[in-house]
């Protein structure tokens, strides 16, 4: 063995031992994360545990007569009413009408919010000129504007689309503008060093950095859309889940109210999960990071 090999061998052995120790530490961290993080099935069961416990408490209270049925109907009554509504198709009709209103209103609000928010985030002039009025309007609930909007638009479908879109657009505007504005200056500087044109800067630097904030605004806007839908249908509608709540309240059939509330919650949850799926697809680099870890 040469002198150079003799001198290099201890350094090589030390590097190899350091690499092995690093890999072992990484595996231990991965095992700890795997032990602390629930599996997909475990996450589902954990999420269902609280509703199931609430259902048991509800059934127990109804069985023992702790709460009058006029105030809180028994789960068996809810089941019978749901079966009746499904049999005659009325529940599906109300759900279809409400879902259509939410999709149209949310779509309009998302389109306006993304465009306006992007303009405010990219242009300091637009942000200085129009952003303060938007922030001021965001402090006033859209339902406060409904009496005024009714004078100009009546109580038909356009009114519902406008108020739903309005309530959805506000968080989308704020989230989009905030996400674009908060993109790290270091990333923008890197784009200039690499001589990115405007299109490449937006596609490779600004958009990836703003995506989390944009989707946070979209999800909040979707939640606002469902809340505003119910209130708009309570205000002026003859069909939809909000109308079903009003009808049940007027007849003092609280089972109808509870059923409409449950359907609204499940429909909103389903749409939010769909939006989460789109968000994951829009951020492939995060999936890659999870796979590495």
Instruction: Say what the pLDDT of residue 2 is.
Output: 45
Residue 288, pLDDT > 70, answer: no
Whether the Cβ atoms of residue 211 and residue 283 lie closer than 8 Å to each other: yes
State the DSSP H helix or E strand holding residue 229, giving kind and residue range, or none if neither. helix 207-235
**Among residues of the chain, what percentage have pLDDT more than 90?**
18
Among 152, 162, 173, residue whose Cα is nearest residue 228:
162
Please count the other Cβ atoms lying within 10 Å of the Cβ belonging to residue 240: 26
User: Left (φ > 0), alpha (ψ -120 to 50) or beta: where does 230 sit?
Assistant: alpha
**Average pLDDT in the chain:** 79
Q: Residue 33 and residue 285: Cα distance in Å, rounded? A: 20
**Contacts from 122-131 at CB under 8 Å and sequence distance 24+?**
122/180, 122/206, 127/177, 127/181, 131/177
What CATH number was assigned to the domain covering residues 74-292? 1.10.3720.10
Task: Fill in the DSSP letter of residue 205.
Answer: I
Q: Model's pTM, two decimal places?
A: 0.75
State the DSSP H helix or E strand holding residue 27, giving kind and residue range, or none if neither. helix 3-36
Instruction: Say what the pLDDT of residue 234 is.
Output: 78
What are residue 69's phi and psi, to 5 degrees?
Answer: -65, -20
Q: How far is CA 125 from the centre of its chain?
A: 30
Least confident range of 18-27, 105-114, 156-165, 239-248: 18-27
pLDDT grade for 32, boundaries at 50, 70 and 90 = low
Where are the domains positioned within the chain?
74-292
Instruction: Say what the pLDDT of residue 233 is.
Output: 84
Whether the Cβ atoms of residue 82 and residue 266 lie closer than 8 Å to each other: no
């Amino acid at each position: 063995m040469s002198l150079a090999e003799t001198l290099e061998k201890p350094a090589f052995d030390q590097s190899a031992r350091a690499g092995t120790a690093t890999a072992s530490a990484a595996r231990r961290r991965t095992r700890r994360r795997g032990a602390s993080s629930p599996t997909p099935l475990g996450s589902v069961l954990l999420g269902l545990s609280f509703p199931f416990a609430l259902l048991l408490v509800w059934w127990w209270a109804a069985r023992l007569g702790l709460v009058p049925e006029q105030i809180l109907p028994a789960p068996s009554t809810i089941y019978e009413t749901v079966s009746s509504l499904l049999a005659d198709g009325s529940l599906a009709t109300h759900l279809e009408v409400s879902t259509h209103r939410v999709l149209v209103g949310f779509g309009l609000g998302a389109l306006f919010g993304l465009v306006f928010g992007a303009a405010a985030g990219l242009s300091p002039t637009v942000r200085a000129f129009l952003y303060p009025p938007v922030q001021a309007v965001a402090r006033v609930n859209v339902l406060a504007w409904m009496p005024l909007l009714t004078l100009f638009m009546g109580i038909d479908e356009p009114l519902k689309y406008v108020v739903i879109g309005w309530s959805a657009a506000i968080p989308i505007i704020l989230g989009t503008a905030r996400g674009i504005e908060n993109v790290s200056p270091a990333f923008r500087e890197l784009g200039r060093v690499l001589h990115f044109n405007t299109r490449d800067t937006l596609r490779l630097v600004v958009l990836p950095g703003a995506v989390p904030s944009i989707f946070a605004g979209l999800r909040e806007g979707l939640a606002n859309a469902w809340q505003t839908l119910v209130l708009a249908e309570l205000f002026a509608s003859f069909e939809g889940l909000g109308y079903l709540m009003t009808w049940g309240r007027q007849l003092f059939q609280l089972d109808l109210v509870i059923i409409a509330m449950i359907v609204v919650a499940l429909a909103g949850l389903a749409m939010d999960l769909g939006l989460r799926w789109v968000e994951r697809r829009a951020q492939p680099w995060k999936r890659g990071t999870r796979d590495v870890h």
